[in-house]
Structure 1
Amino acid sequence: EALADLAEDLLLPAISMTDGPLELYREPQETREFEKTLDQYLGVLKRLHEQGLMTLGYVDKPGSSLIGQLLELVELSDQDLEAYSHRQRKFAGVNDVSLLSDLLVNPGDRSAIFAIHSETSQRFKGDLALHFFYLNVGTPGKTHLARVEIPAWVACDHDLVGVLQAVLTEQTCIMGSRPYPYILHRAHEVAVVTLPEHQHVEEMIVAEFDRRGISVDEKSNKQYHKDLDRTKTRYQG
């Protein structure tokens, strides 16, 4: 919501990046809370669309086999399709990176754009329907494929996809031989919680538990000394 508020004053074109998929991860036992969070999330994505802020999810080391599963379905007859089970996969163990590494060989090469089909993605409808493509953000002779997730309103606009492709290629080049969007790297640096900050928060939580009469186990000696080592400089003899 803070991002959507900020986007009101941005000059377009502008891009927001998420480290990871756009689709939310769901814990099976958290159905009610998940539905509430998902509704809020969809509301934010809708606002970003109305404001024209391009949104993407960047998956740095994808291990999924979304395209492989699609190829399996293409081979099936209508009758076999009804009986299809992920447990009987023909291309099990072959992920998308393996399929595309020899095709997207040049830095900046991308795959076609595919729609995402899953239980959760069905809630992303219309202009917010989730899509993805693979992009080679590596260097000449060293392919590195990332999966980029985008909503339908971006996926359907060839010019916007081109902008995303160019920006991601430029951003990842900044990081040299370990390609990763520089802006996401900086976000991680800014968001890092130092050990003293972590300990302060932990002490506040323990104090609140103590106030409520809830017993909290002490750290193991091993963990105590590990934490202590992080706060002091090792003597070099």
Structure 2
Amino acid sequence: MDTIGELLRRWRHHRRLSQLDLAIAADVSARHVSLVETGRSNPSAAMVLRLAEQLDVPLRDRNRLLLAAGFAPRYAERPLGDDALTAARNAVERVLRAHEPYPALAFDRRWNIVMTNRAVEPFLAEVDPELLRPPVNLLRLGLDPRGLARLVVNLADVRAVFRSRVRRQLAAAPDPGLAALYGELLEPGPEDAPPDADVMIQMIVRFGGRELRLFSTITTFGTPQDITLDEVAVESYYPADAESAAFFEGPGPGLTGSGPA
């Protein structure tokens, strides 16, 4: 098992900070940072969390730092359906419902969908049932020919967007499971090229006899103290032109139900 010093040094290197940089940010001496990293000083739980805060360590990994230093984990990880997360779950549901008639969904750090609004459901109607077995993974759903990939006109662009986002995730916080998913679905090939776009990259979907042009935004919790909330994100899709808006705002795909994926 890694020591607290080894873990802190690894995170510091990952953030490309010197011991002095970290010390100044955490308002401690560079000597103290050095003593902690080399195991010659045992940090308090408060010091572990102070250094983790300056290193922007995710809550899941802050627990690992605390355990390595001999302290109990500080942050709970509850399922989104837990009673303690009722207010947060209701907030996510309100965001999803308020975005109708446009599609929106919530997913976790490994892109497993945890909740959708009703506007997503028509697009899943012809997806291979194998891809809809929980946990439903958004990357697989979007890139597998048995899923939504066959509907996406500019699949290379969409794959490039996914690739960029997952790379940023891995740069922010290494994760073996996410890295394996990247290797499976997003490893670039010689034919891949950066997407070409003036303002933002649109996703063009051929559905219902039309080509729908969509762009998306991401919403996260601002001050989470639970691992689940720290890792959940809501992706909301918007029509990029009047024709796409009319499809969703008219009879269009219809809204058939709401709730968890």
TM-score (norm 1): 0.22
TM-score (norm 2): 0.20
Larger relative CO (CA 8 A, sep 6+): 1 or 2? 2
